[in-house]
């Protein structure tokens, strides 16, 4: 099964994320048809990359044979002092490209395609900050797997050996989508204090030595090992907002939902009461899980092109040369 290629389409500097709610009385198949068609030759997305996802329960109803087992919608996560709210919606679309105008044009095309079947529940514009840093000034995604390893981490069945392609949901991915607002308190800390919050040096992202690494640092809470093996995820985060209010768009892909859930619960201090220090300087504004189906599964819903119909034209403005990704 072929994964959606946009998951790994690094280099884009402009991004837009749309969450959708199915209109009352509309058959969910209509939403799957609309979103599936965006990735086809008639989708009009030539100048941009597009990735689409669905609420886990909705996708399991639409395509039970193509749904990863046991994946569920986001539920509120609550620690002693941390709350991560649930803001689950029915559909998700991520448009990315090398220039804002091409991403804008493609986003308009998406909205026109879905307006008869779904409402826009949220729209967020993301952008790359200093090539690979988030708005704290630290490099984001140091623990990301290499390009060679990313598929095994992010795609169901990709890293499970012979016969894995036959498992439910093969070729799909589980997405965690969150907005984290940054608080001014982090900028008020000195560099040494910031480094202890993150668990890495600010200039070059070197992990702090064990004897000085705080147990509540972001690294300590999110770098997780089980049976001597690190539980990895594949991050495609970006920055959002303006000078007065801004933060991180967390876009995390994994072949297993449990890995994402363990990470969030450890950040909130669920179970052991050790809260991730970074959550004292950031605030979770949203939380949702989506299944990002394989291309093969989506093609079953995409309408067949009419005979003799030419592909839709690309937006008028092409992408500018892209710099590195938000890691």
Residue with tokens 């907002």: 241
Q: In b/e form, how buried is each residue of 247-263, taking b as 16+ CB within 10 angstroms?
A: bbbbbbbbbbbebbbbb
Position 319 in a domain: no
Q: How far apart are CA 136 and CA 222, in angstroms?
A: 17
Domain of 54, in residue numbers = 5-299
Position 321 in a domain: no
Which residue pairs, CB below 8 angstroms and at least 24 apart, start in 298-302?
298/4, 298/32, 298/35, 298/36, 298/39, 298/52, 299/36, 299/40, 300/36, 300/63, 301/29, 301/32, 301/33, 301/35, 301/36, 301/62, 302/33, 302/36, 302/37, 302/39, 302/40
Catalytic residue of the set 140, 152, 192, 216: 140
Position 314 in a domain: no
Q: How far apart are CA 145 and CA 86, in angstroms?
A: 28
Q: How many CB atoms lie within 10 A of CB 46?
A: 15
Q: Length of the chain, please?
A: 327
Q: How far apart are CA 259 and CA 250, in angstroms?
A: 15
CATH number of the domain to which 34 belongs: 3.30.70.3420
The confidence score (pLDDT) of residue 217 equals 98
Q: How far apart are CA 49 and CA 99, in angstroms?
A: 12
The confidence score (pLDDT) of residue 48 equals 84
Q: How far apart are CA 72 and CA 14, in angstroms?
A: 30
Beta bridge pairs of residue 22: 118
Residue with tokens 């179970």: 271
The confidence score (pLDDT) of residue 304 equals 64
The tens digit of pLDDT for each residue in 166-217 reads: 789 999 999 999 999 999 999 999 999 999 999 999 999 999 999 999 999 9
**Among 318, 299, 293, which residue's Cα sits nearest to residue 41?**
299
134 included as an active-site residue: no
Position 28 in a domain: yes
DSSP per-residue letters across 175-241: EEEEEEEEPGGGTTS-HHHHHHHHTB-TTT-PBPPTTT--TTSHHHHHS-EETTEE---EE--EEEE
Position 74 in a domain: yes
The confidence score (pLDDT) of residue 326 equals 36
Contacts of 130 (CB under 8 A, 6+ apart): 137
Helices (H) and strands (E) in the chain, counts: 8, 14
The confidence score (pLDDT) of residue 320 equals 36
Low-confidence ranges of the chain (pLDDT < 50): 309-327
Cα distance from N-terminal residue to C-terminal residue, the chain: 26
Position 324 in a domain: no
Structure token pair of residue 271: 């179970």
Number of structural domains found in the chain? 1
> 261 near 25, Cβ under 8 Å?
no
Position 271 in a domain: yes
Position 320 in a domain: no
């Amino acid at each position: 099964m072929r994964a959606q290629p946009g998951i790994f389409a690094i280099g884009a500097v402009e991004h837009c994320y749309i969450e959708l709610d199915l209109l009352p009385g509309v058959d969910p198949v209509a939403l799957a048809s609309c979103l599936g068609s965006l990735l086809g030759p008639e989708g009009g997305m030539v100048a941009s990359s597009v990735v689409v996802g669905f609420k886990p329960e909705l996708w399991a109803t639409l395509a039970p044979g193509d749904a990863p087992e046991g994946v569920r919608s986001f539920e509120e996560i609550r620690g002693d002092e941390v709350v991560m709210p649930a803001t689950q919606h029915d559909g998700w679309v991520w448009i990315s490209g090398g220039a804002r105008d091409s991403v804008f044009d493609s986003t308009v095309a998406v909205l026109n395609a879905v307006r008869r079947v779904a409402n826009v529940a949220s729209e967020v514009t993301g952008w790359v900050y200093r090539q690979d840093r988030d708005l704290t000034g630290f490099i984001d995604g140091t623990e990301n797997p290499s390009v060679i390893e990313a598929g095994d981490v992010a795609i169901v069945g990709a890293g499970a050996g012979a016969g894995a392609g036959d498992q439910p949901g093969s070729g799909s991915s589980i997405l965690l989508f969150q907005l984290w607002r940054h608080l001014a308190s982090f900028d008020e800390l000195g560099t040494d204090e910031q480094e202890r919050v993150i668990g890495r040096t600010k200039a070059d992202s070197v992990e702090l030595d064990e004897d000085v690494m705080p147990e509540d640092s972001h690294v300590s809470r999110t770098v997780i090992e089980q049976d001597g093996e690190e539980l990895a995820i594949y991050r495609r985060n970006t920055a959002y907002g303006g000078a007065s209010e801004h933060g991180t768009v967390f876009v995390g892909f994994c072949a297993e939902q449990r890995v994402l859930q363990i990470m969030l619960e450890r950040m909130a201090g669920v179970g052991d009461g050790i809260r991730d220090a970074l959550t004292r300087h950031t605030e979770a504004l949203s939380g949702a899980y989506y299944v990002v189906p394989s291309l093969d599964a989506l093609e079953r819903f995409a309408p067949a092109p009419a005979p003799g119909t030419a592909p839709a034209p690309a937006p008028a403005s092409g992408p500018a040369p892209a710099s590195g990704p938000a890691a």
